[in-house]
Structure 1
């Protein structure tokens, strides 16, 4: 790697488990105490619904209930009232398609997967019973029972994916041995969409939240009041979601060496701001409770996103930050993202994955592949791609695709339809729109995935989206080296570094040695400290407690915060720091 004397090398300071601390007085129950508390809430008997997110280990949950509440009557609503698996398969077949990766977004509701007459029968049996009666499973609250207590057993999508890799099936699918990519597809296009619609309806109805991200026998329970208090606190101040790190065939060593992350042989990705996937950690009562960060988006979309951003996107977080580590690794796959019209018509998604690469670090010979070369022969390029995909030859990428030197703090813009990939020996902060699944791989350098299978190639999709007029001259003019100074003051400079006019995300970089004033201006801000060890975020009115961030950490400032400041802190006082800040343009 090139020497970067100003770059931070305080890896262990990077916080991989950021928390939202609740004040004293909030209770958390753990393990066996969970069931003791639930039983104590109904000392004379009554009805409890434990409505689970799909992916919760229902077998283990039922075993815990039998062990700790042996006198309770437990009804599994899924076994009692869900449609047979073959009928569910028929309902969602059009959403799943035959493709290994891509489906069509589902608009089903959970009721579609249940027999209403059987739900009525569950309700009649439960209401006619005596003692403690518990209905458990995804859809427990669909049974028309006037429940005394409602529990949401919640689970983050990233945890679901880890379980599926270990052999867990999709909901009532019996497909534990199936290709993990296909299991994720079923979750992304169907189950998680249906589950989130259902979950949102429980927030004002539930009494408790059960954290099932760990083993069920060590689950944590907190009251709905504490859950809501944590979310109220989160939208009143800067916060971080819980990053997760994932290996990949092209992954590198930079994050392990510079962020203090241990584990796999390599890490390809760090997802540090993907609220659909990430979690929030709530610290209370000496315990830490994990909840999906999408819960915050659903609960407080206006305060988090801002009125105008919410009006445009609904309760969906539109900005994603992640890191791509190829230091000591390999090139990413050569790829292209779908155009908006193609995204809507083919997959049912409302917007596409425009993005950019911001270089946190790079070797002297690092490059980015970006845009096709001028006067490229598209037929020859597609033919060579097909040949490579069939295993009959290699693809001469440099013959068809531009390469540009990649240096620390360079910013490359990648609107949808642009052929691109990061080369080896780079550390990329990827700033993009949220739809993360929609990458059409064109060439993967002859590699197999970590599962030993060929990585999916989608040349038909890619060919339908490549913008051939984004040639060398256009790319140089529009996507490379676009930096405009927009403002400056004592000890700071603001620059506009992207994204492209075709993209909805604006990015500002601030270089600073002194305090910098920021304002959300009514829309959510997502930032990363891209230079310097440590900075402190403060409210000029004292609206939130001063909050410290470290090198390479991504953090979110909710729209409701309004004015805030950032200045060097601790070992960074007297040094030059930099942040990049992304927000929705035109808001």
Structure 2
């Protein structure tokens, strides 16, 4: 492990101009009252994202408004009807469902909404309509507020006992609550939220609590997103323990040590990460998905947007097994399978970039020659029934690994990393579509067996990927693209079956890059710190630190990266969507991966 003093920033923020208005705690609620008071018979809508504590928000509003109406209480369909509506999306599986095509309006009784609209029209004074879907009751509200919630915070609240929306399932298995959120509620919520982003008058952050709410104007919200796509930035990472988790991130990144381990670190998962604004020292948090939904072309580029829509397709995360255990033996679904069975547009192709490797660290990848498919699944089923351990050495290859190895894992490939590895996982953003085949006779941190999906795995394992094939196609396929005095540029993957391209730059001098109108996701995989700069001064110099993932929006175009003072040689790994570049020439040179001196 590295022994440098940790400088990884666990809470990156985006600095806003001095004097930007922000209201905190009671003053936030009073500002909403003042906004209503400036209008005659004002209708205020506070639309809430799932995970917002609606009762706490309602109680805070009632301190400053005489009439506060919960739109879900007044007009939502009964829970039993909602359950019946989405039953096909949820199914019986503990983990997997099917992406819903329903909208928030489908959760409401239109006759009761119409009655509520009539009451609002006949009111004699200000009124507040609040709750998820509140805007349905007042599409032309005088004051529109979005009470937003990052999905990671929502997950933490569900773990602590929060039920799904309008449900009485607070004590239910967290995987089932997450499933309902992932396949149903969050999908509806983002469709409902997207048109609000250009119309909202205020954004309300209750991530800490309603008592510590932070309020900014809609103009501040939009200008912050407008500025974000003009410069490099980072999402707010989050970390989580796991049954196989390790301790590398605690030691090297300086994470708090009051947890049993850290298994995962999520540094670029826009649907679940946050963006944090720094407004004169006040931290305002929002889902980073807001940037994807509102500025998708500027962020991702026209080519990536044309392929994926407002869906950020690249994920960077950490898998830490130093001092821990092997990941579960697993496989990811093929594209046709994930579309048919789960309603997802693309599958979870991925790769493992080895940031660090300890004693005997390695990867399991592909099958051994002569292994029999049916026999392997017979043994897996016996292990699942508790009739002995799975004899992995008979069926699955195990390769030793070294720091900076890059292992490519197209969907359908049996794989996992071993203990004593620190993996930077670069993958498509499909999140939860891992079919566990064997979990090394373990149970989860909750004491329950971790879900294994052998039927799904059987339908997706690509049996032709044997030792020779994975050695030739998936391990360290390094091509040197360009090198010169102080730099070397290498293509490291991904496999031709995958849509993500990755390029590694080694540099001890400033190097010039170009997004070519497609988003770049980077991680500083070697070196204490590096500085990202604009050749034209379009943005302030931006310092990144070892193991930090950062985004360079497509809108940025040219940018340079150099080692920070005294940092020595550095390396970045850059991912982008293959085939979405828009080439352009500078002095007749294609600068897509140029490493020439930027002086």
- Give the equivalent residue in structure 2 for 1:290: 285
The verdict on how the C-alpha distance between 1:145 and 1:498 changes in structure 2, with shifts beyond 3 A counting, is: closer
- Give the equivalent residue in structure 2 for 1:108: 102
- Give the equivalent residue in structure 2 for 1:178: 172
2:371 maps to which of 360, 368, 376 = 376
CA distance in structure 2 between the aligned counterparts of 1:534 and 1:55, rounded to whole angstroms: 36
CA distance in structure 1 between the aligned counterparts of 2:195 and 2:139, rounded to whole angstroms: 16
- Give the equivalent residue in structure 2 for 1:494: 489
- Give the equivalent residue in structure 2 for 1:94: 88
Residues matched between the structures, number: 577
The runs of at least 4 aligned residues of structure 1 exceeding 4 Å deviation read none
> Offset of 1:84 from its aligned partner?
0.4
| 1:300-328 deviations in Å (ceiling 9; x for gaps) | 00000000000000001000000000000
CA distance in structure 2 between the aligned counterparts of 1:167 and 1:93, rounded to whole angstroms: 22
CA distance in structure 1 between the aligned counterparts of 2:196 and 2:160, rounded to whole angstroms: 30
- Counting only pairs closer than 5 Å after superposition, residues 319-334 of structure 1 correspond to structure 2 as 319-334=314-329
> Offset of 1:396 from its aligned partner?
1.1
Structure 1 residue 58 and structure 2 residue 54: aligned? yes
- Give the equivalent residue in structure 2 for 1:404: 399
Structure 1 residue 507 and structure 2 residue 502: aligned? yes
> Offset of 1:481 from its aligned partner?
2.0
- Give the equivalent residue in structure 2 for 1:167: 161
- Counting only pairs closer than 5 Å after superposition, residues 399-548 of structure 1 correspond to structure 2 as 399-548=394-543
- Counting only pairs closer than 5 Å after superposition, residues 95-244 of structure 1 correspond to structure 2 as 95-144=89-138, 146-244=140-238
Asked if structure 2 preserves the Cα contact closer than 8 Å seen for 1:10 and 1:533, the reply is no
Asked if structure 1 preserves the Cα contact closer than 8 Å seen for 2:357 and 2:402, the reply is yes
> Offset of 1:441 from its aligned partner?
0.2
Asked if structure 1 preserves the Cα contact closer than 8 Å seen for 2:322 and 2:419, the reply is yes
1:577 maps to which of 559, 570, 590 = 570
Asked if structure 1 preserves the Cα contact closer than 8 Å seen for 2:198 and 2:222, the reply is no
Structure 1 residue 351 and structure 2 residue 346: aligned? yes
CA distance in structure 1 between the aligned counterparts of 2:464 and 2:13, rounded to whole angstroms: 47
SS of 2:177's equivalent? helix
> Offset of 1:132 from its aligned partner?
2.2
The verdict on how the C-alpha distance between 1:8 and 1:229 changes in structure 2, with shifts beyond 3 A counting, is: farther
CA distance in structure 1 between the aligned counterparts of 2:512 and 2:396, rounded to whole angstroms: 41
Asked if structure 2 preserves the Cα contact closer than 8 Å seen for 1:75 and 1:134, the reply is yes
Gaps of 5+ in 1: 2-6
Farther-moved stretch of structure 1 (118-127 vs 187-196): 118-127
**TM-score of the superposed pair, with normalisation by structure 1:** 0.97
- Counting only pairs closer than 5 Å after superposition, residues 547-558 of structure 1 correspond to structure 2 as 547-558=542-553
> Offset of 1:121 from its aligned partner?
1.1
| 1:490-519 deviations in Å (ceiling 9; x for gaps) | 210000111101000000001111111111
> Offset of 1:25 from its aligned partner?
2.8
**TM-score of the superposed pair, with normalisation by structure 2:** 0.95
CA distance in structure 2 between the aligned counterparts of 1:505 and 1:146, rounded to whole angstroms: 43
| 1:362-411 deviations in Å (ceiling 9; x for gaps) | 01311100001112111110000000111111001121100111110000
SS of 2:113's equivalent? helix
SS of 1:540's equivalent? coil
| 1:131-183 deviations in Å (ceiling 9; x for gaps) | 22100100110014531100000001111100010111000011001000000
SS of 1:201's equivalent? helix
> Offset of 1:81 from its aligned partner?
0.3
> Offset of 1:127 from its aligned partner?
2.2
CA distance in structure 1 between the aligned counterparts of 2:494 and 2:51, rounded to whole angstroms: 37
Asked if structure 2 preserves the Cα contact closer than 8 Å seen for 1:120 and 1:144, the reply is no
SS of 1:315's equivalent? coil
> Offset of 1:571 from its aligned partner?
3.3
Farther-moved stretch of structure 1 (118-127 vs 502-511): 118-127
CA distance in structure 2 between the aligned counterparts of 1:302 and 1:381, rounded to whole angstroms: 46
Gaps of 5+ in 2: 581-599
- Give the equivalent residue in structure 2 for 1:307: 302
Structure 1 residue 82 and structure 2 residue 76: aligned? yes
SS of 2:495's equivalent? coil
- Give the equivalent residue in structure 2 for 1:4: none
CA distance in structure 1 between the aligned counterparts of 2:370 and 2:348, rounded to whole angstroms: 27
Asked if structure 1 preserves the Cα contact closer than 8 Å seen for 2:45 and 2:138, the reply is no
> Offset of 1:9 from its aligned partner?
2.4
Structure 1 residue 26 and structure 2 residue 27: aligned? no
SS of 1:302's equivalent? helix
> Offset of 1:8 from its aligned partner?
6.4
> Offset of 1:184 from its aligned partner?
0.3
Asked if structure 2 preserves the Cα contact closer than 8 Å seen for 1:529 and 1:550, the reply is yes
SS of 1:108's equivalent? coil
CA distance in structure 2 between the aligned counterparts of 1:146 and 1:336, rounded to whole angstroms: 49
| 1:90-147 deviations in Å (ceiling 9; x for gaps) | 1000000100000000011111110111111111112211222100100110014531
> Offset of 1:289 from its aligned partner?
0.3
